[in-house]
Amino acid sequence: MTPSSLSVRRFPLLAAPAVLLVLAGCAGTPTADAAHDGDAGTAWSYDGAGSPEHWGALSDEYDVCSTGTEQSPVDLPAPTKGAPLDLVAGAPAKGLTADNGHTVQFTADDGATTRIGGEDLHLVQMHFHAGSEHTVRGEAADAEFHFVHADGKGALTVVGVLAEQGAHNAAYDSYVAGATAGAGRASTVDIGAMLPEGRSHHAYSGSLTTPPCTEGVQWIVLEDTVELGADQLADLEAAHVENARPVQPLGDRTVEHELR
């Protein structure tokens, strides 16, 4: 996405194989108000000439991918089981799930909300990475899900959920089915059922994990993991695997154990 007005709305899914819906903004604050593939002639990827170490050189628009000081993902400390996140999921959200070339993305219909830290935020979209982008003490999980929210001005809060192979998780069935559908598929995302029961979490200021890597994103990564069945992970990995940006330097930032 590119800088523009600060209205919050849902975006048409970009269907071109090499295009990812990205959320960006102006003045260092990413916003959720336009769908854009960055530089139309610039292809980025997770390997080869377009891989993460080259993102900053692919386009002037992606420069912060290499020059930014608050980039995501990061390596997280050991779980602390600290203050629980004030998170109240709204009604199950309906929308469209489709492969956008870099991940399988659920794009929510208008009206989907989640209350986080006492504020009602719009659920914009969710997607996955396999393995995880955030690591914990240097260890990656089997997968990571990002639930992307925007406030009334378009500023982004992303709830990250790490997943490990285990028992089949029926709450993810509708979303995983979209990974195998090929074309877009109507889906329902029930955040209340998809998140782990525990709400202890890590919070820090970071960025988008894909170009243009815009900073100013509020990250909340839940400490407890969810389990997915081997069949569910296999379906996701058949769509995309190793679609994770490596961890970035934490620098002067501090990972908090409660949302401030």
- The amino acid at residue 228 is L
- The reply to whether 102 belongs to the active site is yes
Encoded tokens for 177: 């089915």
- The amino acid at residue 59 is S
Selected catalytic residue, list 36, 102, 122, 127: 102
Locate the DSSP E strands across 130-200: 135-136, 139-140, 143-150, 156-165, 185-189
156 close to 150: Cβ distance less than 8 angstroms: yes
List active site positions.
102
